[in-house]
Structure 1
Amino acid sequence: MLAVTGLCVVSAPPALASDGPASDSPASGGAKFGLAASTECVFGGDVIKSTPWSLQRILLDQMWGQATGKGVTVAVIDTGVDSSNPQLSGAMAGAGKSFVDGAANKDIEGHGTRVAGIIAARPMKGTGFEGIAPNAKILSFRYTGGENKQGNAGTMSDAIRAAIAARADIINISSDTANKKSDSTLESAVTAAVNSGALVVAAAGNDGADGKSAKTYPAAYPGVLAVAASDRNDERAYFSQAGDFVDVAAPGVDMVSTVPKGGQCTADGTSFAAPYVAGVAALLKQKHPTWKAAQIATRIEETAQRPGRGPNRYIGWGVIDPVAALSDNSTPGFSPTPDPAVKTGSGGVVPMAVTMGESKAERERRTAVYVLGTGLVLVLVVAGSGVAVRDWRSRRVGRVGR
């Protein structure tokens, strides 16, 4: 049975989490989690007072004036959801179920609690963070992250089928199978979920720094809304997996969310882009309860902001625009269609560049060029100043001699 890996750029030990590579993932078969060298996150710590950029990009009053997710249940298939966090205690739809040791409402890794917060964290005094769908309900299905047992494609499949039985409207999966390989048991469970009418939202993966295309599962299965990560510039995050299976992108960098025992932390990853989309889907489900899952997905895709008429392998149909998705009251089809061609006077289509985002290496090279250029300018200024001073002294000596 294939192992399944979590899709965040944070690896979280039981008490702490930090920004770092996701090579040691929650479901890799008991891997130990090393603490990276950047900022640490203490479970049960403080909240972040400011409103995160991922919410600042939205006209929240306009969005929540149309829907808040009330009456919609989102299944979070992950490492559990710690309901002791004050922003999640009122968001839980029930006890859920665990397919590894421990309870579904316990999360020693912190991954599932972050995912749930991005979807449906309740507003709280002292922080500008809350979920995209702050009145939606969360149902936790813990497929991995046990105290003594890690999950795999089999436990994930069991969790998906439990979500179907619970009649979840939306199923969020922020994980993928190891080595980007499909699994027949998992494919069967995902197919059953799609056929049940639930909208399955899955993270595209974090191994995209090389820019090469590759399929990840369950995101690449038919009927699944596959989500890549975008940055503050609405460009593909450097780590986000590219591929023709990518349907849409959403914020996945510096994502503020809830953590176990209370408090908040930030993290990167397509793990946190997927629940952003799941939250918007919950809003659409409340506003249009008769729409099918494919119609909700189509509305999200067709209203996304993109550089071209159709999709590309980096951000799919584009970066999600929640207000545009909620504001369009027309009835969508069951699959997205490209925008109409915009023609010039000569009849040619006006092309637009595909934005891919900037890799860490590219960013370092750009910074080096800036530093080198600035140093060269300073050298020239100093040298020029020295020549000017010598000329002035020469002229002064000449005047004195006369």
Structure 2
Amino acid sequence: MDLVGLTSLMKLTSGEREIAIGLLDGPVAMDHPALTAESIRQLPGGGPCFLPGSSACRHGTFIAGILVARRGGAAPAICPGCTVIARPVFAETTSDGQRLPSVTAPRLAEAICACVDAGAQVLNLSAGMSQPSTRQERELHMALNYAAGHGALVVVAAGNQGTLGSSALTRHPWVIPVVGYGMDAQPMAQSNLGSSMGKRGLGAPGENVTSLSPNGGLQTQDGTSVAAAFVTGAIALLWSRFPKASVSEIKRAVTGGHGPRRTSVVPPLLDAWGAHQTLSVTQSARVTQ
């Protein structure tokens, strides 16, 4: 938490119920003792875990724990006061518990629009996606445009293939792609990098993070999916503190959009407290005008 300035921000707020996070991931084990029913709202198109050993359920529950687990436990529990709108996109088809299932571009595009229509202000996508056709990529692009047009920020995991480049998700100009950083404050070798990450993205903790397991216990995971949830949680807390801030103000504060133009393929680390200080200034100036 200290690495990305979340410790101080989390002392000020646990989030507000009016701030809604669209979780596009695997199903969530709603009966986990560290989760509360008030924190998670399920959308049609998917339900809670039926196969707790599936990789989809393990991943969805893990990410939900980073965001809205009860504080005081081992999970990060960044914004338990906020609302998660869960729209599962990964099917429970495997019990290996390791490999994240993939999702088709049309299914993901549909889920993005459904979360936006349900009132989500920030979407968390940790999607492994098969290579879309030109038509499917256009459909996904339109869904991301829909999110942008409705003032919903989109946070996307950069991917864990250790490659240099972009995807249909990360190259969209509205998306905030997130790279996983290790405990040494350096990008993890497995994390994808590229111009879209360097120009518009952020880094966040992605190594040896502990969160919830669908069996009622805990698990530890690595990767950019983990890192993306830290950025999403920070945005939810900032919007909770500054509910009158515009989507552009939130995005600029989080990504450092007021700073010099970035040229590296490596994004800077999230600085949640720095973003809070920036918003404090801009929102105070608005009040005095």
Same fold (TM over 0.5): yes
Determine the C-alpha separation between the residues in 2 that align with 1:136 and 1:278: 11
Determine the C-alpha separation between the residues in 2 that align with 1:86 and 1:132: 17
Residues 21-77 of structure 1 show CA distances to partners (whole Å, capped at 9, x for unaligned) of xxxxxxxxxxxxxxxxxxxxxxxxxxxxxxxxxx35467663124332212111100
Partner of 2:13: 67
Extract unaligned runs of 5+ from structure 1: 1-54, 333-402
Residue of structure 2 aligned with 1:142, choices 69, 88, 91:
88
Change (3 A) 1:184 1:58: closer
Partner of 1:241: 192
Determine the C-alpha separation between the residues in 1 that align with 2:133 and 2:202: 21
Compute the displacement of 1:158 (Å).
Answer: 1.4
Mapping for residues 22-37 of structure 1, pairs under 5 Å = none
Residue of structure 1 aligned with 2:180, choices 229, 242, 258:
229
More displaced stretch, 164-173 vs 323-332:
323-332
Determine the C-alpha separation between the residues in 2 that align with 1:144 and 1:327: 37
Residue of structure 2 aligned with 1:278, choices 216, 222, 232:
232
Question: TM-score, length-normalised on structure 1?
Answer: 0.60
Determine the C-alpha separation between the residues in 1 that align with 2:272 and 2:239: 13
Counterpart amino acid of residue 190 in structure 2: F
Partner of 2:76: 130
Compute the displacement of 1:291 (Å).
Answer: 1.9
Determine the C-alpha separation between the residues in 2 that align with 1:323 and 1:170: 19
Determine the C-alpha separation between the residues in 2 that align with 1:180 and 1:229: 24
Determine the C-alpha separation between the residues in 1 that align with 2:86 and 2:189: 30
Mapping for residues 247-396 of structure 1, pairs under 5 Å = 247-302=201-256, 310-316=261-267, 318-328=268-278, 329-331=280-282
Partner of 1:98: 45
Residue of structure 1 aligned with 2:29, choices 48, 71, 82:
82
Determine the C-alpha separation between the residues in 1 that align with 2:151 and 2:6: 28
Asked if the contact 2:204/2:269 (under 8 Å) is kept, the reply is yes
Determine the C-alpha separation between the residues in 2 that align with 1:128 and 1:78: 21
Determine the C-alpha separation between the residues in 1 that align with 2:174 and 2:4: 27
Give secondary structure in 2 for the equivalent of 1:97: coil
Counterpart amino acid of residue 270 in structure 2: I
Asked if the contact 1:203/1:273 (under 8 Å) is kept, the reply is yes
Give secondary structure in 2 for the equivalent of 1:114: helix
Change (3 A) 1:185 1:60: closer
Change (3 A) 1:220 1:58: closer
Give the share of equivalent positions with the same residue, in percent. Answer: 25
Change (3 A) 1:255 1:310: farther
Asked if the contact 1:80/1:104 (under 8 Å) is kept, the reply is yes
Compute the displacement of 1:133 (Å).
Answer: 1.4
Q: What is the aligned residue count?
A: 266
Determine the C-alpha separation between the residues in 2 that align with 1:155 and 1:199: 19
Residue of structure 2 aligned with 1:220, choices 166, 171, 174:
171
Determine the C-alpha separation between the residues in 2 that align with 1:163 and 1:276: 19
Asked if the contact 1:144/1:155 (under 8 Å) is kept, the reply is no
CA RMSD of aligned residues (A): 2.7
Determine the C-alpha separation between the residues in 2 that align with 1:205 and 1:58: 20
Question: TM-score, length-normalised on structure 2?
Answer: 0.82
Give secondary structure in 2 for the equivalent of 1:138: strand
Partner of 1:162: 114
Mapping for residues 1-16 of structure 1, pairs under 5 Å = none
Residues 131-152 of structure 1 show CA distances to partners (whole Å, capped at 9, x for unaligned) of 1212111111011223499742
Residues 287-319 of structure 1 show CA distances to partners (whole Å, capped at 9, x for unaligned) of 111222232121112299xxx965354432x10
Give secondary structure in 2 for the equivalent of 1:69: coil
Asked if the contact 2:103/2:128 (under 8 Å) is kept, the reply is no
Determine the C-alpha separation between the residues in 2 that align with 1:153 and 1:134: 30
Change (3 A) 1:240 1:269: same
Partner of 1:113: 61
Residues 222-256 of structure 1 show CA distances to partners (whole Å, capped at 9, x for unaligned) of 21111111111211111111111111111111111
Asked if the contact 1:177/1:217 (under 8 Å) is kept, the reply is no
Counterpart amino acid of residue 186 in structure 2: E
Give secondary structure in 1 for the equivalent of 2:227: helix
Change (3 A) 1:216 1:59: closer
Counterpart amino acid of residue 135 in structure 1: G
Compute the displacement of 1:331 (Å).
Answer: 2.2
